[in-house]
Amino acid sequence: MGEQQHVKFPQEVIDEYAALGVDLQALFSAGHLGTRMGVQILEASADRVVGTMPVEGNTQPYGLLHGGASAVLAETLGSVGSMLHGGTRKIAVGVDLNCTHHRGVRSGLVTGVATPVHRGRTTATYEIVISDEQGRRVCSARLTCLLRDAAPAGTDG
């Protein structure tokens, strides 16, 4: 649990970041929190981001998947999509996240799929659908990120 798998990026995205000396795998990983929670990003592009998270270790006292864990998965996937949309000159900062929890899950993996609702110059909004292993919707989420100009190399921004 917590090991980052190799994310599938479009070749043009890999080339764009490699030309800047940026390690895409590190930049678009689930981060420290996502790693602790076992989030794994399986596929990533501005059009679709897919990731999984185990239920085990991410439950609330009743033994159900914690709503906050679903929120972490949703924000991770939507943020990755927003960053890929913004490209190398922008950073994505989450400004609004909402989640509706539809059903409880006690075991297995949940899978989140983030798709764009809006991709503009200054904001990006993604819908994230989280499903259980039977394909039943567990959570519907929406994340909006502000796309800020990235700080030039060597500055704190």
Q: Please provide the DSSP assignment of 7-49 as one string.
A: PB--HHHHHHHHTTT--HHHHTS-HHHHHHHT-EEEEE-SS-E
Residue 3 bears catalytic tag: no
Strand-strand pairing, 123-131 and 137-149: antiparallel
If you search the block for the tokens 């994340």, which residue do you land on? 143
Annotated catalytic residue within 3, 12, 16, 75: 75
Q: Which residues pair with 101 in a beta bridge?
A: 139
- The number of beta carbons lying within 10 Å of the beta carbon of residue 146 is 16
Across 48-74, b (16+ Cβ under 10 Å) vs e yields ebbbbbbbeebbeeeebbbeebbbbbb
d(CA 45, CA 12): 11
Catalytic amino acids?
75
